[in-house]
């Protein structure tokens, strides 16, 4: 596991801990808020705020799937050991950079290359 997130002074200790835990879990783990709440003492709101912080910092990309009937289904998480390009260290996203492929929908995974 990279220690990039641990050295990021812009992240709270809560977000650093959750990120470390998420990186230690197998790729097949249930990364939903409910799944993460199940293995932690913190309640749903605390887990949600840490995930949102990690999203804003570029470490996590979350996308929602749509069922055939149009209703929202599950969420896909892409977890990166270093922030996604296009994110600034102060947690303010920059505009998207064109020419980069969009994440594959259909599975949960960790991007160990970044």
Question: Which of 18, 31, 21, 12 shows the shortest CA–CA distance to 78?
Answer: 31
Instruction: Decide which of 84 and 35 is more confident.
Output: 35
Q: Which residue has the tokens 């470390």?
A: 20
* CATH 3.30.310 given to domain 5-111: no
What number is the average pLDDT over the span 30-37? 89
Q: What value does the mean pLDDT take over residues 37-59?
A: 95
Does residue 24 register a pLDDT over 60? Answer: yes
- Confidence category of residue 92, pLDDT binned at 50, 70, 90: very low
Taking residue 47's Cβ as centre, other Cβ atoms within 10 Å add up to 21
Distance in angstroms (rounded) separating the CA atoms of residues 34 and 1: 24
Between 19 and 92, name the one with better pLDDT: 19
What percent of the chain stands above pLDDT 90?
Answer: 46
């Amino acid at each position: 596991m990279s220690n990039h997130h641990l050295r990021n002074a812009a992240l709270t200790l809560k977000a650093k801990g959750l990120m470390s835990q998420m990186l230690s879990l197998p790729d097949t783990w249930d990364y939903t808020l409910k799944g993460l709440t199940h293995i932690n003492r913190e309640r749903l709101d605390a887990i949600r705020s840490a995930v949102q912080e990690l999203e804003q910092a570029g470490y996590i990309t979350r996308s929602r799937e749509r069922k055939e009937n149009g209703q929202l289904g599950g969420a896909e998480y892409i977890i990166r050991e270093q922030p996604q390009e296009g994110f600034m260290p102060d947690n303010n996203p920059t505009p998207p950079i064109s020419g980069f492929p969009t994440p594959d929908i259909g599975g949960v995974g960790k991007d160990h290359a970044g």
